[in-house]
Structure 1
Amino acid sequence: MSIRDRYGRGLAAGIMAAGLLALSAACVAPGSETGGTTGATAEGAPSASAGGHKRIAFFGFARANSFAAATWAGIEEYAKANDAEAEFFDPNFDAQTQVQQIQDAVTSKRFDVFIVQANDGAAVVPAVRQAVAAGITVVAEFTPVGTRYDTTESQVPGMLTLLDVPTDNGRKLGELGVAACQSKKLNPCKVAYLEGFKSLPLDNARTDAAVKALEAAPGVELVARVEGGYTKESGRKAMQDVLQSQPDVNVVIGSSQAIAGAEGVAGGKDVLFVGNGGSRQAVRAVQEGRWFATYYLPEKTAGAKAAELGLAKARGQDVTAANSSTDLAPNGGLGTKDALKDVQGEYDE
């Protein structure tokens, strides 16, 4: 599965060729704050010092991506505090380059741990199998390595996972939409869902889960499903289309970038927005009451947790093989105003 990560902006052309989620091309380094979450950090995580000096290879989406930069900051910080060193391999969103980088790193025999943030989860499977067979500890971080979008379970025997499960993400977006409707006390409550890209299997899995959650709620009426994409521009256009057919829409759900664009179109209309992304900007919009909620994950913290898991296994310790990054987030990622009151976010759009 190629990556079109909802946590970034301005990459529609480059990532469309790679083929999945939308990733940010913003190059803003993450801060040192943990966003008020629990989980692995260089200061607070259990030490993985036993077993000698180790080397971590991080195969991230791209070095110029602010979301991947947050992951890298957590990995590097944890490694330095736990007798390890880390190196970022930059494929610049190219799935085949990332596959080659993993294969070359296996051949080099320089690394004990791989952390893989897959641009294409299906494409990297053979290379990940090769790494596991060579005795390297592999952690799949954020996106699944494989073609299933409904589980944290490893799709490569021997691999560890720390994933944002797409169907869980979609279900929680739907739940946040229902909560927004309940806060308005309308019956029916009209909801528009700005899905990512209709051509992408991962986005479709997320959309289907969100739609099921919305349609199961009494009094909630899904009145529009429009491709909203992962930029302000695409969100603005999607919102214009929604308002043409549904001028009295009550709740709008979409990627944090699309919602930022939709917000500008809504004008003085009484619309509640639900975003999908945990940037500082999205968190601030919720805290200021401009958005009802956003799906929030602390990505620097997740990077540190991935390093913790990988180093612990490489040093012979028992670790949980399948892990969800939502366990690191306040309120399981359901970023309402109350849940995010002490959170700053860990990356910029």
Structure 2
Amino acid sequence: MTHLSRIIAGAGVVALGVSLAACSSGSGSGGSGGDKYSIVFLASSSQNGYNQAVYEGVQKEAKDLEKKLGITITTKIQDGQFDANTQLSQLQNAGTTGQASGIIVVPQDGPGLAAAFPLGNDVPVVSVLNPIGPDIDKMAPQIDGVVSTVASSPSEGAARQAQTVVDYCKNIDPCKIGLVAGLLNSPLDVARIAAWNKVLAQSPNIKIVGTVEGAYDRDKSLTAVSNLLQANKDINGILSNADQQTQGAQIALENAGIDPSKIFLTGGGGTTEAVKAVRDGKWTNDYLNYPVSMGKAALEQLVNKLRGEKVQSVVDADTLVKIGPMATKKDLDAVPDFTGEWNG
């Protein structure tokens, strides 16, 4: 997955947030027309393109549900600043003030957010991208108060990515690979790195020449990979979990005189830039994510809960769109109209 970067927010996306209003929850069985719901969206970073895309999906679904159900939905986005303590405080506040009908969160630290529960009020929570609770790979709600998780196992996804490296390196010995993770202290990325290492360790010909932090940011990844290449100009590939990081890696490779299309290069996120790079043959493949669709699914389940209707406790993010999740040029050529759901 999935997939977070500190890209400066476009005013158009952030402007979609509206002031949080007092609400009547309308949580009786079936709900009724005219119900009003106030939704707080807790972004791990509101300046991050992935979070913005999830919020865009929330906004689109809100408009659709208003027309379909005759209800009113207002939303507010809060910036977690890629800081676990900040987001924990925001979750506690949103669950206590009495102004929020429901909460959607993209956790910076899923295990750490468990400390916010039980919330001060009975406010349902939906988690996107990774779960809330001690097990980063368990999608079923682990905490009372979390009603649904819209995500896929980060370890399984990372293992799937790493296997494509194994396939590429099959006839290369040694096959020198650099790893670019998002935040080295994030539970999500710790799980991904562990899964990468476990799969790659089974192939003795693969040598990991370094693991660097890209912080879901193109420029930081450019610097990190440039430093990695100083001692590894004969590198055979870069494995990254975020498209923005892979964009930075691509620039670093080109600056070092290395043709990206001649080595293994992958990312995660399914940005329009990544889809084009794979189509053009510059990247080997990409792990596609669908953050807009994930945001839509999250609000759908949250409103179902508020209206007393059936809730899907786990929405597998990898099944929201037909193509993927791992996509090569051949895969993308089979669906020429697919461009990705967001810009990195």
- 1:226-257: CA deviation from partner (whole Å, max 9, x where unpaired): 21413334433443444444433222111323
Partner of 2:211: 226
Partners of 2:87 and 2:108 within 8 A in 1: yes
Quick one: distance in 2 between partners of 1:81 and 1:308?
A: 10
Quick one: distance in 2 between partners of 1:26 and 1:220?
A: 42
The one-letter amino acid paired with 2:78 is D
Quick one: distance in 2 between partners of 1:291 and 1:221?
A: 19
Quick one: distance in 2 between partners of 1:244 and 1:101?
A: 42
- How far 1:302 moved relative to its partner? 0.4
The one-letter amino acid paired with 1:107 is T
DSSP 3-state at the match of 1:308: helix
- How far 1:92 moved relative to its partner? 4.5
Partner of 2:88: 99
Counterparts in 2 of 1:181 and 1:102: CA distance versus 1, 3 Å: same
- 1:7-63: CA deviation from partner (whole Å, max 9, x where unpaired): 323xxxxxxxxxxxxxx4443756xxxxxxxxxxxxxxxxxx941224122222343
The answer to whether structure 1 residue 303 and structure 2 residue 310 are counterparts is: no
- How far 1:320 moved relative to its partner? 2.6
Quick one: distance in 2 between partners of 1:347 and 1:29?
A: 13
- Greater length-normalized contact order (CA 8 Å, ≥ 6 residues apart): 1
DSSP 3-state at the match of 2:79: coil
Residue ranges of structure 2 left out of the alignment (5+ in a row): 14-28, 66-70
Moved over 6 A (4+): none
Quick one: distance in 2 between partners of 1:69 and 1:286?
A: 23
Partners of 2:43 and 2:77 within 8 A in 1: yes
Partner of 2:56: 73
The one-letter amino acid paired with 2:141 is S
The answer to whether structure 1 residue 348 and structure 2 residue 340 are counterparts is: no
- How far 1:210 moved relative to its partner? 1.2
The answer to whether structure 1 residue 210 and structure 2 residue 196 are counterparts is: yes
Partner of 1:175: 163
Quick one: distance in 2 between partners of 1:204 and 1:98?
A: 19
| Larger displacement relative to structure 2 (79-88 or 192-201) | 192-201
Quick one: distance in 1 between partners of 2:323 and 2:200?
A: 20
RMSD value, Cα: 2.8
- 1:155-201: CA deviation from partner (whole Å, max 9, x where unpaired): 2124221124321232122123234335xx54554333223344444
Counterparts in 2 of 1:155 and 1:332: CA distance versus 1, 3 Å: farther
Counterparts in 2 of 1:335 and 1:28: CA distance versus 1, 3 Å: farther
Residue ranges of structure 1 left out of the alignment (5+ in a row): 10-23, 31-48
Partner of 1:253: 239
Partner of 2:140: 153
Counterparts in 2 of 1:7 and 1:117: CA distance versus 1, 3 Å: closer
Percentage of pairs with the same residue: 27
- How far 1:284 moved relative to its partner? 1.7
The one-letter amino acid paired with 1:141 is V
- How far 1:332 moved relative to its partner? 4.6
The TM-score normalised by the length of structure 2 is 0.78
Query: Could you tell me which of 183, 192, 195 is aligned with 2:181?
Result: 195
Quick one: distance in 1 between partners of 2:11 and 2:197?
A: 33
The one-letter amino acid paired with 1:156 is I
The answer to whether structure 1 residue 51 and structure 2 residue 31 are counterparts is: yes
Counterparts in 2 of 1:75 and 1:58: CA distance versus 1, 3 Å: same
Partner of 2:68: none
Partners of 2:272 and 2:339 within 8 A in 1: yes
Quick one: distance in 1 between partners of 2:206 and 2:166?
A: 10
Partner of 2:113: 124
- 1:102-153: CA deviation from partner (whole Å, max 9, x where unpaired): 333333433332212223334432434216xx43321111132223222212
Partners of 1:28 and 1:347 within 8 A in 2: no
- How far 1:329 moved relative to its partner? 4.2
In the TM superposition, 1:323-338 aligns within 5 A as: 323-338=315-330
DSSP 3-state at the match of 1:282: helix
- 1:258-287: CA deviation from partner (whole Å, max 9, x where unpaired): 322222232344212111222222222112
Partners of 1:162 and 1:324 within 8 A in 2: yes
Partners of 1:281 and 1:348 within 8 A in 2: yes
Query: Could you tell me which of 43, 51, 66 is aligned with 1:60?
Result: 43
Counterparts in 2 of 1:329 and 1:115: CA distance versus 1, 3 Å: same
Quick one: distance in 1 between partners of 2:96 and 2:224?
A: 47
